[in-house]
């Protein structure tokens, strides 16, 4: 330290407390970075790396960004997963003795972003805290700093349970203690792409009492307190907008693991990672940002409480039946800005006068929304309307205080209306009158001197002045003005009277700006006191927005209200895949029925590739999810049970990050379903076993089917290319074969996309290859090979039958021949004798013969 200059020493002292962040160190009009920060920032931000002297022989690496443009550079770093510490000058340089005092005023992290492009208006930006109480118990508390929403829950189970919950939350940052399990931290970073931060303080501060008041579990309070300490330490400002933590249980919602959400493309498409082509994309007819975020939360957490589901369906049905009121509600909601994030900005100290105008416009819509919602004439709608709060006193304050089109800056005046404050009006009059006097002075001097180009100007260095072009200087009377400045083409003058007026004008403007800023801060404090009431209205408005969105989609796409039963029956008439139907547009979608009951617990689905097996399976799951989030469903009729969990194994993709093959991913997803499913769950398995050899795959597929059938009893849809498995219908009482039909016409394959009873008769693999436009020569050769294989199989079968017939005849006339076997062969014969073929199903017999054949070949 001693060898560096005092300023560099100060930088290093501050940086020592923020080793995991880029330190933006304020020097004049720039934020500077030094040493490793400078080298790394120059690469990440693509800015010039320079150097400066710092008291040592070697120059110190340095780069910087302008103060006024820093927000854009900070956003880039945050989006790349970095933290940024903002270090400001906290002392007037004129009064400083030595180096100006500097302090970090905020630490911006991916989980604490409050504004900018990094904050998606239709998505929450959560930061979570995890506390491990033992190997199988975790406390999670999470918060969206931009909206103030705070929630907490206790989880029990494996690491996978925790990772699934974090995935549902969609957290951007996770706060833990320094002893947190390193393997689990790695898994969180890999799966969630979230950064890990450390906070040791879990002491309950009285300042947090109001936020923790609803938490009954002490373990949850520990996690919540850790998070609150981290937020206070990093943000260094008021957190008054944080809502009290609400405690929930994951068992209150349908469980959808990470794999199922990905496979069903609920909120993120597998290919593009965006929302297009997802269930969220289909349903999002919301008008407000708050409504869009609520919609995503509902999709992530479908309900399992029938009364709560029916309440939502009642409100959707009521909204759907009132077309004109719904259209008017959509128009009113368009005038409502993001009240949740406006509240956050107010509490955070970031709100400007334009934010207040947005708040005022939003609040003025509420009385009309209340009247309209009550016209729906439904008890639940009326209850929601009764809890909407227009905050009339606040609206009146903002109306009389803030001008309609204020500037962005709150420190340059021009934001407070005339008539709001007497003293301010006096200063404004002085300023305006002074400027009017200046304008009249210019007019008078032009007349008296005869110089039409004479003008009265102003700059910050010289104040007000009279400017005369050099060509007209000779027209001035000697001593009329006092020369102040000589320019190339003009002379600038002043007069005692002008300077006297200047002092009055500038003094009035300065006092006006200072007073406006002071008044604005008072108004902001007043607005802050209304935050809880604004947040309550925001929650109700977002809920109403989702109901109208569901109603709008349901009407446009002819969805029906689902009916729930407790008999574990699925009766879906003419069901459709909602997203595929929308993507198809004007093309006709082929609907399908799905009937399952106590005698049809499992459906084994066969049919060629591209025929629609996966689509059929997905549409059953999406119908259940739509119903349980409270939306109408794409069908003619739908009578279904309430599912506690949905598991899927659809699609094939290597998990390259964790180094797992397609087959391993298949097995892990299958294991997750088998280990956690109950009889009230829904399981979708698509082509299980295709990632390994044919016999291994068939054996595993059959074993999985039998296990689910005999031990779990969950409603299961199982698609396969192993036609040999269709014999299981004869053995397993609750399994039925269905197939997606296709026909050949003039040698071409035509998909009918219709689900019919019974197994498929052919695979049509070569036809599918032909549809994929593989070379004609290749298709012809594949057909030849297929014919050869089929003919050879037929010949072998005939030869085997003939051989068996001849042997039977010869046996009548010959004595048995004693054959000499090796010990290895005798062991295999003994194994063959012990097989009880009469108790085997065909698949078991085939697998046993295959194993014996392998041993003989050795």
> Binding site membership for ATP: which residues?
607-614
Q: Which residues contact 436 (CB under 8 A, 6 or more apart)?
A: none
**Residue 18: Cβ-neighbour burial (10 angstroms; 0-12, 13-18, 19+):** middle
**Residue 270: Cβ-neighbour burial (10 angstroms; 0-12, 13-18, 19+):** middle
**CA dist., res. 246 & res. 512, Å (int):** 45
- Phi then psi for 408, rounded to 5 degrees? -70, -40
The 563-564 sheet, strands edge to edge? 563-564, 637-640, 570-575, 592-596
**Residue 196: Cβ-neighbour burial (10 angstroms; 0-12, 13-18, 19+):** middle
User: Taking Cα atoms as reference points, which of 462, 504, 501 lies closest to residue 484?
Assistant: 462
**Residue 14: Cβ-neighbour burial (10 angstroms; 0-12, 13-18, 19+):** middle
Q: Which residues contact 677 (CB under 8 A, 6 or more apart)?
A: 645, 647, 683, 708, 712, 714
- Name the strand (E) or helix (H) holding 616: helix 613-629
- Positive or negative, the CA dihedral 652, 658, 663, 664 is negative
Tokens of 689: 């076993």
**CA dist., res. 88 & res. 97, Å (int):** 17
Burial track 407-437 (b if 16+ CB lie within 10 A, e otherwise): eeebeebebbeeebbeebeebbebbeebbee
User: Taking Cα atoms as reference points, which of 415, 448, 378, 385 lies closest to residue 520?
Assistant: 415
Q: Which residues contact 795 (CB under 8 A, 6 or more apart)?
A: none
- Phi then psi for 816, rounded to 5 degrees? -60, 135
The 150-156 sheet, strands edge to edge? 195-198, 173-176, 126-134, 137-144, 150-156, 246-247
- Name the strand (E) or helix (H) holding 494: strand 490-494
**CA dist., res. 534 & res. 359, Å (int):** 9
Partners of residue 219 on adjacent β-strands: none
User: Taking Cα atoms as reference points, which of 427, 384, 391 lies closest to residue 519?
Assistant: 427
Q: Answer whether 468's CB lies under 8 Å from 480's CB.
A: no
How many Å is the maximal CA-CA distance in the chain? Answer: 152
**CA dist., res. 399 & res. 314, Å (int):** 38
Q: Specify the length of the chain in residues.
A: 858
Q: Please compute Rg for the chain using Cα positions.
A: 38
Q: Answer whether 829's CB lies under 8 Å from 852's CB.
A: no
**CA dist., res. 46 & res. 235, Å (int):** 28
Residues annotated within a binding site: 607-614
Give whole-number Cα distances, 414 to 429, 501, 505, 533, in Å.
13, 21, 15, 29
Partners of residue 60 on adjacent β-strands: 52
- Positive or negative, the CA dihedral 307, 308, 313, 318 is positive
Task: State CA 140 to chain mean position distance.
Answer: 18
**CA dist., res. 848 & res. 840, Å (int):** 10
């Amino acid at each position: 330290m001693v060898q560096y200059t005092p300023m560099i020493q100060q930088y290093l002292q501050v940086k020592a407390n923020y080793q995991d962040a880029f330190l933006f160190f304020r020097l004049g009009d720039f934020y500077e970075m030094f040493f490793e920060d400078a080298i790394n920032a120059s690469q990440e931000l693509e800015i010039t790396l320079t150097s400066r002297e710092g008291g040592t022989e070697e120059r110190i690496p340095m780069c910087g960004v302008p103060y006024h443009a820093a927000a854009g550079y900070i956003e880039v770093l945050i989006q790349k997963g970095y933290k940024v510490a903002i270090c400001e000058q906290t002392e007037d340089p004129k009064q400083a003795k030595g180096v100006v005092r500097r302090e970090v005023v905020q630490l911006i992290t991916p989980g604490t972003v409050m504004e900018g492009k990094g904050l998606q208006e239709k998505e929450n930006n959560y930061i979570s805290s995890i506390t491990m109480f033992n190997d199988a118990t975790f406390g999670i508390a999470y918060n969206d700093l931009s909206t103030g929403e705070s929630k907490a829950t206790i989880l029990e189970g494996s690491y996978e349970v925790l990772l699934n919950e974090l995935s549902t939350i969609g957290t951007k940052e996770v706060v833990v203690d320094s002893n947190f399990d390193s393997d689990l931290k790695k898994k969180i970073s890999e799966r969630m792409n979230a950064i890990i931060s450390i906070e040791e303080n879990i002491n309950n501060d009285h300042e947090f009492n109001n936020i923790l008041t609803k938490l009954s579990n002490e373990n949850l309070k520990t996690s919540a307190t850790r998070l609150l300490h981290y937020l206070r330490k990093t943000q260094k400002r008021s957190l008054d907008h944080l809502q009290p933590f609400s405690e929930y249980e994951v068992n209150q919602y349908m469980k959808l693991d990470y794999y199922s959400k990905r496979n069903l493309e609920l909120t993120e498409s597998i290919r593009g990672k965006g929302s297009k082509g997802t269930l969220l994309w289909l349903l999002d007819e919301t008008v407000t940002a708050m409504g869009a975020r609520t919609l995503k939360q509902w999709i992530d957490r479908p309900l399992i409480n029938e009364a709560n589901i029916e309440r939502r369906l009642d409100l959707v049905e009521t909204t759907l039946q009132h077309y004109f009121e719904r259209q008017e509600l959509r128009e009113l909601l368009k005038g409502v800005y993001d009240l949740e994030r406006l509240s956050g900005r107010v509490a955070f100290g970031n709100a400007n006068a334009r934010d207040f105008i947005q708040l005022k416009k939003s609040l003025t819509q509420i009385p009309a929304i209340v009247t309209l919602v009550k016209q729906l004439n439904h008890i639940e709608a009326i209850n929601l309307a009764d809890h909407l709060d227009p905050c009339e006193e606040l609206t009146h304050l903002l109306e009389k205080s803030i001008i309609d089109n204020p500037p962005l800056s709150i420190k340059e005046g021009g934001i407070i209306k005339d008539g709001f404050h007497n003293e301010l009006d006096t200063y404004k009059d002085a300023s305006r009158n002074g400027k009017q006097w200046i304008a009249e002075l210019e007019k008078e001097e032009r007349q008296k001197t005869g110089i039409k180009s004479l003008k009265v100007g102003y700059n910050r260095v010289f104040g007000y002045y009279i400017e005369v072009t050099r060509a007209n200087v000779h027209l001035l009377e000697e001593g009329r003005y006092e020369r102040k400045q000589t320019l190339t083409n003009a002379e600038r003058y002043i007069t005692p009277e002008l300077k006297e007026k200047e002092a009055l004008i500038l003094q009035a403007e300065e006092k006006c700006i200072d007073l406006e800023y002071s008044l604005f801060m008072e108004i902001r404090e007043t607005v802050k006191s209304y935050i809880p009431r604004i947040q309550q209205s925001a929650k109700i408005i977002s809920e109403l927005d989702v109901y109208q969105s569901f109603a709008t989609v349901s009407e446009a796409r002819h969805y029906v209200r689902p009916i729930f039963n407790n008999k574990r029956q699925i009766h879906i008439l003419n069901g459709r895949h909602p997203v595929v139907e929308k993507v198809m547009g004007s093309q006709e979608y082929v609907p399908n029925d799905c009937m399952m009951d106590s005698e049809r617990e499992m459906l084994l689905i066969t049919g060629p590739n591209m025929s629609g097996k996966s689509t059929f399976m997905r549409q059953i799951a999406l119908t259940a999810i739509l119903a349980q989030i409270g939306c109408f469903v794409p069908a003619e009729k739908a009578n279904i049970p309430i599912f506690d969990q949905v598991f899927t194994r659809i699609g094939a993709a290597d998990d390259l990050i964790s180094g797992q093959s397609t087959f391993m991913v298949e097995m892990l997803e299958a294991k997750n379903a088998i280990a956690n499913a109950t009889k009230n769950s829904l399981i979708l398995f698509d082509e299980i076993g295709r990632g390994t050899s044919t016999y291994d795959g068939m054996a595993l597929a059959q074993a999985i089917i039998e296990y689910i059938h005999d031990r779990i009893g969950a409603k299961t849809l199982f698609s396969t290319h192993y036609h040999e498995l269709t014999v299981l219908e004869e053995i397993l009482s609750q399994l039925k074969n269905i197939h997606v039909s296709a026909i050949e016409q003039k040698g071409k394959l035509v998909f009918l996309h219709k689900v019919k009873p019974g197994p498929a008769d052919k695979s049509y693999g070569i036809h599918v290859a032909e549809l994929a436009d593989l070379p004609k020569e290749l298709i012809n050769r594949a057909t030849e090979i297929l014919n050869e294989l089929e003919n050879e199989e037929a010949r072998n079968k005939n030869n085997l039958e003939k051989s068996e017939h001849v042997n039977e005849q010869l046996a009548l006339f010959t004595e048995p021949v004693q054959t000499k076997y090796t010990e290895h062969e005798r062991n295999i014969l003994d194994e063959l004798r012990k097989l009880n073929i009469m108790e085997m199903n065909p698949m078991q017999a085939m697998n046993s013969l295959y194993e014996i054949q392998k041993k003989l070949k050795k």
